[in-house]
Structure 1
Amino acid sequence: MQSFASVLDVSSGLLLRGLALTVAISIAAVLAGSVIGTVIGPILTYGGRLSALPFRVFVDVVRGTPVLVLILASYYMPAGLGISPGPIEAGVVALSIFCASHVGETLRGALVAIPPTQIDAGRSIGLTFPRMLWYVLLPQALRQIAPNFVNTAVEIVKASSLLSAIGVGELLLTTQEIVGRTFMTMEFYALAGALYLAVNLTIGAGGWWLERRFSAR
């Protein structure tokens, strides 16, 4: 009977490839979702009822939908339009949508909390609203949402494990494949859990550094 160490030596390459894909998908989703969410937040706050309505619906629907449903919808629904996305592309789209809705709503809350007097002060010195948003409002709001942004990034990493449902060879699916061959269930699932934890602790440490950097300014 093979030992865990010998099986791990053979399977480590597959496991590391799964981990690398998990990290790459998570980074892509967080970056894309953050950009989209940074656009959505100000529209929800300052856009007026009519222009904000579709974004409000988007945020509420996505935040109220399980991530697995978003993943399956992103993978299977485009087929009705004659589009066949690969599982990785569909996964990145689904997780980006999830991230965008959370970043957008969190940013909206931070922008609402900024005193209106700052907008009045910006207008009094001749700043246009786009310049005021870019130089005055967004920097303050982004500092405020740093802890929530870290939480969202952690949720993205955890949600990436659901991409195994559409055949993405990320960390969970590669772990399942190894377990299916070796029957070392406890050992490899514990190792996968430790790898997810290591990634998320790294994100948490980065968030702590950002918070300290922001608070020092």
Structure 2
Amino acid sequence: MNLQELLHAAAPVMLQGALYTLLFAVAAMLGGLAIGFPVAVMRMLPYAVLRWPSALYVSAMRGTPLLVQIFVIYYGLPSIGIEFEPVTAGVLALSLNAGAYLSETLRGAISSIALGQWRAAYSLGLNYWQTLGYVVLPQALRVAVPSMSNTLISLIKDTSLVSVITVTELMLATKEVIAATFQPLPLYCAAALVYWALSLLFEALQGYAERRLRH
């Protein structure tokens, strides 16, 4: 089987795996944002009972390998009666990991807004949450977009790790084709190109979002 025939035969399986990779990354990004935003806010509130647990979560997620976190959720939790399907475990692990990084991105973006913006909003009668939602967050979003986009691009690559718990994303799909064809080099190179293409797609979307937010 020559290279063209090999890639033609592998394309349907690998493209389906790429679709799952994309869905995983987007789902994990949304989950990460749902986790990261409240964690960022808790770390900024003057209540130690909220600050310390959220700081511990961020430190633990950023200080341990994602692969270990996947193993803990999928293989470790069943020992205490908590069991997830592979897809659910993969999305949960990626979301918890991304949430820690996104919380710091959002916290930094919110902190970058001048204190005068808060005071001006308070002088107009807005409370803390109204000021955060209507005044601070719209400005912070522009600051946070590049880092958030970088997190999404990292998630595209990190999804390859969920192949270890039998989730058929791009990497596992590639391995299955290799097992049938015994042609690892061209197929791994093809997978790398697909990851690169997905990353370039989101880099283009990042550039578009930044241009829109400038106006």
Report if TM-score (shorter chain) is over 0.5. Answer: yes
Change beyond 3 A, Cα 1:20–1:8: same
CA distance in 1: counterparts of 2:119 and 2:86, whole angstroms: 48
Aligned-pair CA distance for 1:19: 0.8
Amino acid in structure 1 at the alignment position of 2:56: V
Aligned-pair CA distance for 1:210: 0.7
Alignment partner of 1:137 is 2:136: yes
CA distance in 1: counterparts of 2:136 and 2:47, whole angstroms: 17
Alignment partner of 1:200 is 2:199: yes
1:153-206 superposed Cα distances (whole Å, 9 cap, x missing partner):
011111100111111111011111111221211111111000000001101110
Pairwise CA RMSD: 1.2
| Corresponding residue for residue 103 of structure 2 | 104
1:74-101 superposed Cα distances (whole Å, 9 cap, x missing partner):
1112202323211111000000011110
CA distance in 2: counterparts of 1:18 and 1:172, whole angstroms: 7
CA distance in 1: counterparts of 2:109 and 2:182, whole angstroms: 49
| Corresponding residue for residue 153 of structure 2 | 154
CA distance in 2: counterparts of 1:20 and 1:11, whole angstroms: 14
Amino acid in structure 2 at the alignment position of 1:33: G
Aligned-pair CA distance for 1:13: 1.8
- Unpaired runs of 5+ in structure 1? none
| Corresponding residue for residue 6 of structure 1 | 5
Aligned-pair CA distance for 1:47: 4.4
Q: Which moved more, 1:46-55 or 1:207-216?
A: 46-55
Map 1:57-136; keep pairs closer than 5 Å.
57-136=56-135
The number of residues matched between the two structures is 215
Q: Which moved more, 1:36-45 or 1:23-32?
A: 36-45
CA distance in 2: counterparts of 1:45 and 1:83, whole angstroms: 32
1:24-67 superposed Cα distances (whole Å, 9 cap, x missing partner):
11110001111211121122123433321100110111011111
| Corresponding residue for residue 184 of structure 1 | 183
CA distance in 2: counterparts of 1:9 and 1:51, whole angstroms: 54
CA distance in 2: counterparts of 1:34 and 1:62, whole angstroms: 15
Q: Which moved more, 1:47-56 or 1:61-70?
A: 47-56
Q: Is 1:45–1:111's contact at 8 Å kept on the other side of the alignment? A: no
| Corresponding residue for residue 208 of structure 2 | 209
**SS where residue 188 of structure 2 aligns?**
helix
CA distance in 1: counterparts of 2:174 and 2:131, whole angstroms: 49
Q: Is 1:42–1:111's contact at 8 Å kept on the other side of the alignment? A: no
Aligned-pair CA distance for 1:105: 0.8
- TM-score normalised by structure 2 residue count: 0.96
CA distance in 2: counterparts of 1:214 and 1:152, whole angstroms: 19
Percent identical pairs in the alignment equals: 35
Displaced runs of 4+ in structure 1, greater than 4 A?
none
CA distance in 2: counterparts of 1:108 and 1:48, whole angstroms: 16
CA distance in 2: counterparts of 1:47 and 1:100, whole angstroms: 21
- Unpaired runs of 5+ in structure 2? none
- TM-score normalised by structure 1 residue count: 0.95
